[in-house]
């Protein structure tokens, strides 16, 4: 959970430097990294070079009223590197946990 939250906070801070919506922040910090573990990685949201059809704005007044903020362009390379490290470490931890659980199951029987 700590690893998931650390990646989620770093990802949120690098891609969206300012967002007034608590719901979007919590979704990006907890829910999106959880889905990344299982391979659901929306490239159009991670790669800033690929634009999607949702309208966005850099106007603080519109962001505070609920409109989606635009993603930050200058830290895209760091977000991709963090994603690779996060997925690598997470998958290694999950595989080791699975091996340990099977080993404990074999010792019991």
Q: Enter the pTM of the model.
A: 0.65
Task: Please indicate whether residue 52 or residue 9 has the higher confidence score (pLDDT).
Answer: 9
| The pLDDT value given to residue 1 | 82
Residue 67 has pLDDT above 80, yes or no: no
Bridge partners for 57 per DSSP: 69
Which sequence spans correspond to the domains of the chain? 2-108
pLDDT band (50, 70, 90) for residue 69? confident
């Amino acid at each position: 959970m700590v690893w998931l939250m650390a990646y989620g906070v770093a990802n949120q801070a690098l891609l969206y430097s300012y967002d007034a919506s608590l719901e979007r922040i919590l979704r990006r910090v907890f829910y999106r990294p959880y889905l990344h573990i299982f391979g659901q990685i929306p490239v159009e949201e991670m790669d800033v070079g690929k634009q999607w059809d949702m309208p966005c704005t850099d106007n603080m007044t519109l962001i505070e009223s609920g409109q989606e903020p635009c993603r930050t362009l200058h830290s895209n390379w760091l977000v991709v590197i963090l994603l690779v490290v996060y997925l690598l470490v997470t998958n290694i931890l999950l595989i080791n946990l699975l091996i340990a659980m099977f080993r404990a199951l074999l010792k019991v029987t």
